[in-house]
Amino acid sequence: MAMKTLTLEAVTAPRSPAIVLALRNPATMRPSRLLSRSNVARSPMSKKTPVTISDIARRVNMTPVTVSRALNKPDLVKPATLARILEVAQELDYVPNAFARSLKRSESMIIGVITASVDNPFYSEMIKAISREAKKHGYTIMLVDTDGSEELERKAVDTLLSYRVAGIILSPVSDEPEYQPAYLSRLSNGEIPVVQLDRALHDSPFSHVVLDNYHSGLKGARYLLSQNPAMARLLVLTGPAHSRISEERLKGVKAALAESGKQVQLDVFAGDYTLAPSYQSTLDYLSEQSVPDAIFGFNQLITLGAMKALRDRNIAHESVPICGIDRLPFADIFGIPIACIAHDASRAGSSAVTLLLERIQDRYLPKAKVVIVGELENGVTG
């Protein structure tokens, strides 16, 4: 990483509000997660076949039509008949086939969610909000984790389209202008509404919910300058160099330095939005130079990577002003409230659902944009 000076398994729970499809990358698959063929063969669940309406009809000695009517339009069935059918349905552990029902009715109550960062705490919070908001409106979410793989993202889109979901909330693997996935034309035809979350494909026709990245960089840099007025070197750890999120945050940092009038050396290390590259970049930096006057991490995991490197070099994190973007999970519990520019992840997730539901109801609504503004938290003042 050059320094500039200036990552189809289906897991379903019949009564759960979410379906998770984890499209896994074989290269990153953990051996401990794999089931042996012998284990699969012995699993009693693998032998169980779904109970159908016909199974219930045979048990109660009624026609499938009567059973179907009882399950779907109970007000049209005699109370005694309804009670008997429901009793047997419960005994047989009958679960309605929601997918088949949606095909018959030409409607779906499933919202597809594609994310490349399910292990990112900020994304986890957004996904939880998406699930809760969808549930309020009678929808189930189908979550697909692409593990940062472009190929798995393509498969995720194909999978959700095959399920005929009502709409898709998409956080793509990249927001770099050059990333124009082949599936974009399929989603752009307007048949299935799409809302992008956090990352947005360049020049796409979809509505999106994004963070105010420029002002997050600006506010974070202003805070660090206030903590060290004599700052001469600032270490900034970013996401991918050509990511528009990274670029906007870095623009904000440079604007804060310019308005301060100070001559500050800006040392920028580009990585991705995970912990490992940030950790290694900080280690390399500390091996070649003295401790910087301040450190700015462009997301939670990046900030944690820098702090891990400081610890490994026996440098107390309290000795260096640090600011991150978005809250470090559970940091307050351990008495290390690191300053951050925090965004409301729950609002971002629920806003994405709201935009999507509006477009499910009216496919001709114009493209919309919601911006989530970040504010300084845990900053030391005075």
Domain residue ranges in the chain: 7-27+52-211+345-372, 213-342
pLDDT at 379: 73
CATH fold of 213-342: Rossmann fold (3.40.50)
How far is it, in rounded angstroms, from Cα 227 to Cα 230?
Answer: 9
- SS3 call for 24: coil
- Which has the closest alpha carbon to 144: 99, 111, 188, 166? 111
pLDDT at 185: 87
pLDDT at 12: 37
pLDDT at 49: 79
pLDDT at 142: 95
pLDDT at 360: 94
pLDDT at 4: 45
In the chain, what's the furthest Cα-to-Cα distance? 86
> How far, rounded to the nearest angstrom, does the alpha carbon of residue 59 sit from its chain's CA centroid?
45
- Domain 213-342 in the same topology as domain 7-27+52-211+345-372: yes
pLDDT at 51: 87
Question: What tokens were used for 337?
Answer: 């409230």
Q: Which residues of the chain have pLDDT under 50?
A: 1-17, 24, 26-46, 382
pLDDT at 331: 76
User: In Å, what is the CA distance from 231 to each residue of 101, 205, 238, 317?
Assistant: 64, 43, 20, 17
- Which has the closest alpha carbon to 1: 201, 325, 235? 235
pLDDT at 381: 60
Give the CATH number of domain 7-27+52-211+345-372; options: 3.40.190.10, 3.40.50.2300, 2.60.40.1180, 1.10.760.10: 3.40.50.2300
How far is it, in rounded angstroms, from Cα 314 to Cα 334?
Answer: 19
pLDDT at 100: 61
How far is it, in rounded angstroms, from Cα 84 to Cα 168?
Answer: 39
Three-class SS of 245-284: HHHHHHHHHHHHHHHHCCCCEEEEEECCCCHHHHHHHHHH
How far is it, in rounded angstroms, from Cα 111 to Cα 355?
Answer: 12
- Which has the closest alpha carbon to 348: 112, 152, 126? 126
DSSP 32-72: GGPPPHHHHHH-HHHHPPPP-HHHHHHHHT--HHHHHHHHH
